[in-house]
Amino acid sequence: MRIAVLDDYLKVAKGMANWDSLKAEITFFNEFIQPEKMAATLAPFDVVVAMRERSAFPASLIEALPNLKLLVTTGLRNNSIDLDACRKKGVVVSGSPGDPLSTGATAELSWALLLALFKKIPQEDANMRKGLWQTSMPPTIKGKRLGLLGVGNLGQQVGRVGLAFGMDVVAWSPNLTAERAAEAGVKLVSKEELFKTSDAISIHLVLSERTRKIVDAACIQSMKPTAYLVNTSRAGLVDLDALKAALEQGKIGGAGLDVYASEPVTANDPWRQVPRTVLTPHLGYATPENFAVFYKNVVANIGAFAAGAPTRVLT
C-alpha cells in the first residue's frame, strides 16, 4: 500500500501518529502540489490523505488516479472533494475528526484579528521597531457594536467574548430568527442594519451557492468608514474585489483575513500589499492539539480500511 500525505507545510505529520503501524510506503508532501501536477504526482498512490480543503479533488482528478482506493480527509466535511465522483469510481472517502477542545480555535483567531485591528497592534509594533512612540489612539471596544454574520457555534463563541467586553452584539444570517438570536444572547437585526451600524463585523457562515458573495459590494459600501471586517470562514463569502477596492480607497477602517480565494497565497499575490489589513495564513484550525488528533484518526481510518472495515465513511 502506497500512501500520500498532502500539504504537510509544517512538516509535523510524521511525528504526530504511529504511521509505522500501517506497514506501508508513506510519502509526506511538504509543499503544495499545483493542480496541473496533481494527477501525475498522485497516480502511483492507493491512499491519499488530504489536510482539510487545502488541495481540491474535482471529478477530473479522481478519474485520473488509477490506483486510488481510499481518500482520507482531516475533518468530517470537505467541500473540495467531489464525493459523487468518488462514489462512481468506487473510491472510499473517510473523515478524521480533530480535537474537541480545538473547536473554538477559529473563534479565538477571530478575536485575535479583531483586537489587532481595534488596538492597532501591527502598526504600533512596526513603529516601535522604527524608534517611534505612540503613533495612534486605539479606540475603546466597550460600547461599540459587533455584528455577527452567522451565530452557529463559532459565531456564538465570538459573540460571548464581545458581550464580555461590553459590546452591543447584533446578528443576521439568512435563516436566523429573533428567538434563536435571543438564545445566543444577541439581537437580530436586518442585514442592511448590521452592515450600516456595526463597528466590526465577523463572518461565521458556511459557504454554499446560496451564501457565495453574501457580503457584496453594496454591503461593503454601506459600512462605516471606521468599521472593520473579519473573515475566518471562507473567502467565497465576500466579494473580494469590492473589499480590496474599499481598503485601498480608505472607505472602511480595515480587514482581518485568514482565508483567501486561492491557497496557499503566492508570494506575489496582490493581497499581501493591500493596506489596512491584518493577514494570517489560514491558521483558524491549525493547532498542534487539532493536528495530533487529526493524524491519529487518519492512521486509524487507513488501518480500518486495510482490515476491510472502513470507518467514518463519507461516501
- Mean pLDDT score of the chain: 97
Tens digit of each residue's pLDDT (9 = 90 or more) over 69-110: 999 999 999 989 999 999 999 999 999 999 999 999 999 999
Torsion of CA 248, 251, 252, 254, to 10 degrees: 10
Q: What is the mean pLDDT of residues 219-234?
A: 98
Q: Three cell numbers at 214?
A: 453574501
Strand residues in 100-212 grouped as ranges (E) = 145-149, 168-172, 187-188, 200-203
Annotated active-site residue 204? The verdict is no
CATH 3.40.50.720 is held by the domain 103-279: yes
State residue 25's pLDDT score: 98
State residue 251's pLDDT score: 98
Q: What is the pTM of this model?
A: 0.94
Distance CA 311, CA 300 (A): 9
Annotated active-site residue 263? The verdict is yes
Tens digit of each residue's pLDDT (9 = 90 or more) over 250-266: 999 999 999 999 999 99
Active-site position among 2, 193, 263, 312: 263
State residue 134's pLDDT score: 97
Q: How confident is the model at residue 271 (pLDDT cuts 50, 70, 90)?
A: very high
% of the chain beyond a pLDDT of 90: 98
Q: How many residues does the chain have?
A: 315
State residue 95's pLDDT score: 98
Minimal CA–CA distance to 144: which of 218, 224, 231, 237? Answer: 224
Q: How confident is the model at residue 198 (pLDDT cuts 50, 70, 90)?
A: very high
Same fold, 2-99+288-306 and 103-279: yes
% of the chain beyond a pLDDT of 70: 100
State residue 184's pLDDT score: 94
Q: What is the mean pLDDT of residues 227-250?
A: 98
Distance CA 261, CA 264 (A): 9
Q: In the CATH scheme, what is the code of domain 2-99+288-306?
A: 3.40.50.720
Distances (CA, A) of 39 to 27, 31, 83: 16, 16, 17
Q: What is the mean pLDDT of residues 190-210?
A: 97
State residue 283's pLDDT score: 96
Annotated active-site residue 282? The verdict is yes
Tens digit of each residue's pLDDT (9 = 90 or more) over 105-163: 999 999 999 999 999 999 999 999 999 999 999 999 999 999 999 999 999 999 999 99
State residue 27's pLDDT score: 98
State residue 115's pLDDT score: 98
Give the start-to-end residue ranges of the domains of the chain: 2-99+288-306, 103-279
Active-site position among 234, 248, 289, 312: 234
